[in-house]
Structure 1
């Protein structure tokens, strides 16, 4: 059935594609958008027919002709994507079209690896060109980058393209002709210069932290750390280039380590010694190179004296305390974590533990008692509501920053807040600031927050009672305080349950 409609589907796809290009370059975007939608639909049909419609697609000239045409069409659509600009009504559909073409290649490779062999050369040339040469500048976008990386990865790792390991001895007996042909194509493509450029570009371009990631690190370090951990450990071919680049790097490094090990070692050598904290570019580059060394730890086992590197450089870098150097401190600790199970002498571990402990100690805590005492003193001294609110905001930030380590110093504040709450009866915004402080205080005290119940529970009761006029100001913070109190309370008490009388009106 597929062969019966394939010619018609191809002609339909070709017609709509040509029509779209005529219209878009004639600046008729409205008509072009309609043609683009029809092109997209016809390509979806062709993709299904090509991937699932034939048992031996390599025997069908039209199928192979279409797949070869995909590369030229992709180039045309990418160039169109470059020219239309970000404000074009067609831009979103163009991205979908480009991704659909790459999906066609990836699906065909997955389902018909042997039939894909004649396409290996063009696929590698296409993907490498757009990923690692100036050809990709201005036309590549995240999903397209990921798709191209996946295409290279699937070709490199495909078991059907790997002859027996001992090629010389088993070429006649074990290796299939298809495997030998694919291996020959890959070997001819992945020359020393090509592999060197791919390795360098993966590390120096795709491994670099982005401005968005750096901003996230500054604003929310914990979320940044969790995100990076999830992306790295849970990556299964997702939609972000960085983790995909790491997977591709590992696969290529494993397959061609004899070529790539010297390349990576040279990159490490070029970054010896502490990096200028004012040189953001070099800091990011060192982070990327150290990332590569950590990922390739097992491959580098015989080529890196990690113990000496740790003693002579990494240890020194962990002791650079400048704020901007935290990028390298974080990466070095991660790097050691990657290598510790690979190659790290046990007698160096006590030294490592000392460094880790020093990194975990917060230098601000040395001043915590005096800071908190002075802030509390200031809170009592000032008389203006706005000033009290600002002081409470700073106190809240301190409590949030040090969390449970605030416990020894909050006694006076706990005693003073009920008085301040009573005094602020006519000042709802000040009461909002008190609620915020209580939220952080409950989190810091954890189960010990039960000692605050005589003050805390009436505050929650009032703030969440919609029959009371102040609820207009206090409800949102009151609900959050109620939640954190429930989360941190060691047990449910009758007093806690009594607050649930407010729940019906809140629903």
Structure 2
């Protein structure tokens, strides 16, 4: 009779076949065996055996991952016994020299899933073992693969540990974060410096290994700093990395833009590096707004992203059309960072900070960052460049009008630049209404004189007025503007003017519950129903229908 291992191997082969009946029988057999003692240690032995067909090993590691979810916790029915778990843990890190990328990645995921449950109580030496593997392979060419696998596994373990939100788990993560940061940062610096040295001698042939390894290390560092430290402005290591990341951001961004071959793996990695550093700053500001502001170099980071927005304000549409990865994600990160900076209420929610720290941060914010000139320039930049409908918006309008309206109404603002800019402008005018209200009114006055060749600019100004309805209600005579401007423009049936007709319908939806006299309500109803007529552009009709609903649901409606 064949051994349990041979039987399991044969059943895995059946389960991985292409014949439904054989698969069904094999899966039923595996379901029976998965609760039998020694099943998972036997399965792990097969997964780690390089003489076994890689497809069977891959199927095995996926099955094992699912088994962890069902049977690893002590409270689970048919839980794996402690002795078998100990054997499994002792062999889990044996895949480090695995040449098959997908199998190695899934094995690393398996380690992280078990680490999330067992570290530190049942698996206290996991992190030290991973660090030992990494450091023992530094500067050893033949061990590059082992080091790469170990760094990936460490990243996934860190990711799993920082996802635990229970109080003791958070404190445990904060305890291990400093040592991990020192070790992972040294790995990151080592590989990044190697890449910079290599690129300085030749840009023709570039080995992406160091760049790829440093990218994985950077992923761990981001989580360690963002989730592992209460206040990065008071820790030497985190302050140093904050500055180092900014230096690398500028270098990687310059290199990224200098690459002619945007389809190369090096360009993809450079693009990922720039985006990951941006994600690091955005998350840090969002979760630790006061600590971010108080960290040396934060104003330089803010200024850099502001300059990116200014620099690309007139060209980003062309750049996004010519670059597969485009500039949009970088600019969205710039907007998200500035949105967090502008939103003063987030600083009050940073409960880990004292009143004195809050006061110091607000002083820096108001005196050095949110100055009158910056606030006005920011609002002007958003309106003149980032609230503008782009060519691709107008193409989609024509090709898929219903999809265009649904897209515009969906809450996807963190992933598209114009919706993101709208959210940023809303926060900006909410926080700085006294500074911006006169400027918006002046722009609105100028928009009344705008000719047809500048309809996109007029649309952006109208968008700003709609977004700021709650802040402008006491300074803008909406009824007068409605009667003297909007209703007049609504009657303009020129095909090119549909952009403004659509915006008027949208504005009414934004203002009707804020400020509208009883006398003008019938006029609003008339114009909205006029927009719904069958001869009107479909986008205008659908926008009017959606906003007419807001009008009808207004509790103050009196016709």
TM-score by length of 2: 0.58
> Corresponding residue for 2:434?
258
Q: Are residues 1:178 and 2:350 paired?
A: no
The separation in 1 between residues aligned to 2:202 and 2:340, in whole angstroms, is 39
> Corresponding residue for 2:342?
156
Compute the displacement of 1:253 (Å): 0.9
Segments of structure 2 that go 5 or more residues without pairing to the other structure are 1-175, 320-325, 537-559
Q: Are residues 1:215 and 2:395 paired?
A: yes
Q: Are residues 1:201 and 2:201 paired?
A: no
Alignment CA distance shift 1:55-1:348 (3 Å):
closer
The separation in 2 between residues aligned to 1:335 and 1:245, in whole angstroms, is 17
Question: Which deviates more, 259-268 or 122-131?
Answer: 122-131
Based on CA coordinates, which of the two structures has the bigger radius of gyration?
A: 1
> Corresponding residue for 1:369?
none
> Corresponding residue for 2:206?
31
Residues 302 and 338 in structure 2, CA contact (< 8 A), matched pair in contact too: yes
> Corresponding residue for 2:303?
125
Residues 206 and 266 in structure 2, CA contact (< 8 A), matched pair in contact too: no
Q: Are residues 1:146 and 2:332 paired?
A: yes
Alignment CA distance shift 1:274-1:51 (3 Å):
closer
DSSP 3-state at the match of 2:470: coil
The separation in 1 between residues aligned to 2:234 and 2:252, in whole angstroms, is 28
The separation in 2 between residues aligned to 1:202 and 1:176, in whole angstroms, is 33
Question: Which deviates more, 134-143 or 301-310?
Answer: 134-143
Residues 132 and 198 in structure 1, CA contact (< 8 A), matched pair in contact too: no
Question: Which deviates more, 265-274 or 97-106?
Answer: 265-274
* Offset from partner CA, 1:157-196 (integer Å, 9 cap, x none): 2546359xxxxxxxxxx98111111111111211121111
Q: Are residues 1:59 and 2:231 paired?
A: no
The separation in 2 between residues aligned to 1:241 and 1:311, in whole angstroms, is 33
The separation in 2 between residues aligned to 1:144 and 1:45, in whole angstroms, is 21
DSSP 3-state at the match of 2:291: coil
Q: Are residues 1:9 and 2:188 paired?
A: no
Compute the displacement of 1:104 (Å): 1.6
Question: Which deviates more, 68-77 or 11-20?
Answer: 11-20
The separation in 1 between residues aligned to 2:459 and 2:202, in whole angstroms, is 46
DSSP 3-state at the match of 2:471: coil
The separation in 1 between residues aligned to 2:192 and 2:266, in whole angstroms, is 13
Compute the displacement of 1:354 (Å): 2.4
1:336-415 to 2 correspondence within 5 Å? Answer: 336-363=508-535
> Corresponding residue for 2:159?
none
Compute the displacement of 1:72 (Å): 1.5
- State the number of aligned residues: 348
Question: Which deviates more, 108-117 or 96-105?
Answer: 108-117
> Corresponding residue for 2:366?
187
The separation in 2 between residues aligned to 1:286 and 1:261, in whole angstroms, is 17
> Corresponding residue for 1:242?
418
Segments of structure 1 that go 5 or more residues without pairing to the other structure are 164-173, 365-507
TM-score by length of 1: 0.64
**Please, which of 8, 14, 18 is the counterpart of residue 193 of structure 2?**
18
**Please, which of 242, 245, 268 is the counterpart of residue 92 of structure 1?**
268
* Offset from partner CA, 1:365-391 (integer Å, 9 cap, x none): xxxxxxxxxxxxxxxxxxxxxxxxxxx
Residues 146 and 244 in structure 1, CA contact (< 8 A), matched pair in contact too: yes
**Please, which of 469, 483, 501 is the counterpart of residue 311 of structure 1?**
483
Cα RMSD over matched residues? 2.7
Residues 162 and 180 in structure 1, CA contact (< 8 A), matched pair in contact too: no
Residues 127 and 148 in structure 1, CA contact (< 8 A), matched pair in contact too: yes
Residues 124 and 152 in structure 1, CA contact (< 8 A), matched pair in contact too: yes
Compute the displacement of 1:217 (Å): 0.7
The separation in 1 between residues aligned to 2:400 and 2:309, in whole angstroms, is 31
